Amino acid sequence: MNQMKRFTKFLLNLTSVSSMLLIATLDVSQFAVVGQVSPPTRGKPGTEPGGPRVAPNINDKPLPKPGGVRLAPPTLWNERTEPEGLRFVQPTDDAVSGDARRGTSAAASCVKGKRDVTALVPENKIARTVSEYPVFFFYLPQTDATQAEFVLQDENEKQIYQTTLKINNSSGVTGVSIPANGNMSPLQVGKNYRWFVTLICDPQDRSADVSEQGILRRVELSADIRSKLEKADVREKTFIYAQNGIWQDALSTLAAARLANPKDAKLTADWASLLDSVKLGEIATEPIVQIAPEPSAPIEPQP
């Protein structure tokens, strides 16, 4: 009788163990189905039915064809410059006079080459400055002329400064500084000044002169811009002036920096970008030359 009871208990235990093993086997098989990698499919990944697939290695992809979508490389801002380089922003309230737009003309008889004397100014020939005694820049072409003349007029077309330059076969970008001395009054804020640079092709016949002009307006700096300039280095000052529409000081600051550091590639690139922004890119490769003006006394306007 006891043997019968022990045999029955053994069968019950055996049945329980078998059930547990069956459940464990089912659970493991379920996990295996969930984690199983799908077999490779033929055809283009992601285009045929069958659910999600493992993406191919990106290094196995062919390079995109021209015109396809590409990710732009990250922009580096460590130079504190705009991605496209130094660009001049023309103030929108600078009116364009009818005779001020830059044009092209046939080269004069004393000019050698395709480009005449050219003022380095924005396309509408109107520039701004914050300087009391600014520097005026222009391109001097190869020429047979031996002299050039610079003249500055006030709003009433009265001549307030005049000087003569001995060219001596010089060619390139040069500048004329208005002398800061007791005989010359500083330019006034809010006033427009017209300036001329003239090649004297024939001293005996001034009708053969080749002349170029520009308009300069002196403005005041805002407190915010002054604060930025005080903390800026030379390159940053150039950007601040250009981005705020102050052409003359952007140009003169950069020109002085290039003269002091003629082999600086960054300054050279800034110069090319600045001139290109006002459609003077063809002049960017010309050298900057210094021509000492002949002694000349300023002319004060008559009341």
What are the backbone angles phi and psi of residue 253, rounded to the nearest 5°? -65, -45
In the three-class reduction of DSSP (H, G, I as helix; E, B as strand; rest coil), residue 5 is classed as helix
Higher pLDDT, 284 or 69: 284
Mean pLDDT lowest among 28-42, 65-79, 157-171: 65-79
State the virtual CA torsion across 60, 65, 68, 70 in degrees, nearest 10.
Answer: 50
Q: What is the pLDDT of residues 163-218, one digit of tens each?
A: 999 998 889 999 999 988 767 899 999 999 999 999 999 999 999 999 999 999 99
Residue (of 217, 161, 213) closest to 193 by Cα position: 217
- Distance (Å) of CA 12 to CA 1, 4, 21, 25, 222: 17, 13, 15, 20, 97
In the three-class reduction of DSSP (H, G, I as helix; E, B as strand; rest coil), residue 175 is classed as strand
Give the residue-averaged pLDDT of 41-58. 39
Q: Give me 4's structure tokens.
A: 């019968």
Q: Give me 206's structure tokens.
A: 């001034």
CA angle 284, 78, 268 (to 5 degrees): 15
Residues across the chain: 303
Higher pLDDT, 71 or 132: 132
In this prediction the pTM is 0.68
Give the residue-averaged pLDDT of 276-301. 81
Q: How confident is the model at residue 298 (pLDDT cuts 50, 70, 90)?
A: low
Which residues are CB-contacts of 240 (< 8 A; sequence separation ≥ 6)?
A: 225, 228, 229, 232
Q: Give me 33's structure tokens.
A: 């189905």
Q: How confident is the model at residue 268 (pLDDT cuts 50, 70, 90)?
A: very high
How far is 80 from 82, CA to CA, in rounded Å?
Answer: 7
Give the residue-averaged pLDDT of 110-126. 92
Q: How many CB atoms lie within 10 A of CB 105?
A: 10
Give the residue-averaged pLDDT of 91-106. 58
Strands 172-177 and 192-200 come out as: unpaired
Greatest mean pLDDT range, 92-106, 180-194, 225-239: 225-239
Output the pLDDT for position 76: 31
Q: What is the pLDDT of residues 272-282, one digit of tens each?
A: 999 999 999 99
Output the pLDDT for position 138: 97
Q: How confident is the model at residue 227 (pLDDT cuts 50, 70, 90)?
A: very high
Residue (of 40, 214, 34, 39) closest to 128 by Cα position: 214
In the three-class reduction of DSSP (H, G, I as helix; E, B as strand; rest coil), residue 147 is classed as strand
Mean pLDDT lowest among 36-50, 130-144, 230-244: 36-50
How far is 152 from 196, CA to CA, in rounded Å?
Answer: 7
pLDDT(223) > 50: yes
CB 271 within 8 A of CB 258: yes
Output the pLDDT for position 191: 96
